[in-house]
Amino acid sequence: MGKVTGFLEIDRQDRKYRPASDRIRNFKEFIVPLPEEVIRDQASRCMECGIPFCHDMKGLKGCPVNNQIPDWNDLVYRGEWEQASKDLHSTNNFPEFTGRICPAPCEASCTLNIVDSPVTIKSIECSIVDKAWDNGWIKPQINQNRTNKKNRNNWVWPSRACSCSTISQSRS
Ligand code: SF4
């Protein structure tokens, strides 16, 4: 836990959307990212709960891909963005998608949602992966031993997308 009193001192702040009148004219990004220092402050609000409900233990209500949310919140607070990216990608192959369009059951499950002010987990996730792309920390992982066999995977997205990617990389 980076800042013990973070959740007491800092209010929740989240990304805004560009006005609809702009958005209907193109297909560009419509979510306005928060500055790095604001994301760091938001990450410091995480209490690193002894029982992190955001994480979805035993299939309850948190993150469906079991992202290790308190861990990367702490890393972002400390400025260790590359390590945060590795931690995030250890459970989630496509945080650039989930950081934008996931309904964020992690935030609904966050302990701070007791007072309607959960940690802005989805925005922090998106910032981690955007920074990783900007810095070239994400590289193609091409399997050199592909069998060309097909795999039909009917699991529910985002688990489906992640599992397809993982299976593809792990075939030998
Ligand atoms: S439930 Fe909220 S405050 Fe607790 S560890 Fe998860 S993100 Fe942090």
Domain region containing 37: 6-139
Could you tell me if 130 and 152 lie in one domain?
no
Ligand 1 mean position, distance from CA 138 (Å): 26
Residue 1 lies in a domain: no
Could you tell me if 95 and 48 lie in one domain?
yes
Could you tell me if 21 and 99 lie in one domain?
yes
Could you tell me if 152 and 124 lie in one domain?
no
Structural domains counted in the chain? 2
Question: Is the Cβ–Cβ distance between 75 and 87 less than 8 Å?
Answer: yes
Q: What is the mean pLDDT of residues 142-158?
A: 68
Ligand 1 mean position, distance from CA 49 (Å): 6
pLDDT at 25 over 50: yes
pLDDT (tens digit, 9 = 90+) per residue, 38-81?
Answer: 999 999 999 999 989 998 766 668 998 999 999 999 999 999 99
Lowest mean pLDDT among 47-56, 115-124, 156-165: 156-165
pLDDT at 144 over 70: yes
Alpha helices per DSSP H over the chain: 6-9, 20-23, 36-43, 69-77, 81-89, 95-101, 105-109, 121-134, 159-170
Residue 103 lies in a domain: yes
Could you tell me if 53 and 91 lie in one domain?
yes
C-beta of 49 in contact with ligand 1 (< 6 A): yes
- Which residue in 105, 102, 107, 126 sits closest to 118, CA to CA? 107
C-beta of 162 in contact with ligand 1 (< 6 A): no
Q: Which residue has the higher pLDDT, 25 or 165?
A: 25
Ligand 1 mean position, distance from CA 10 (Å): 15
C-beta of 54 in contact with ligand 1 (< 6 A): yes
Q: Per the structure block, which two tokens stand in for 3?
A: 């800042």
- Using CA atoms, how far apart are residues 20 and 17, in angstroms rounded to an integer? 8
Task: Report in angstroms the alpha-carbon separations of 148 from 37, 92, 93, 162, 171.
Answer: 46, 24, 21, 19, 10
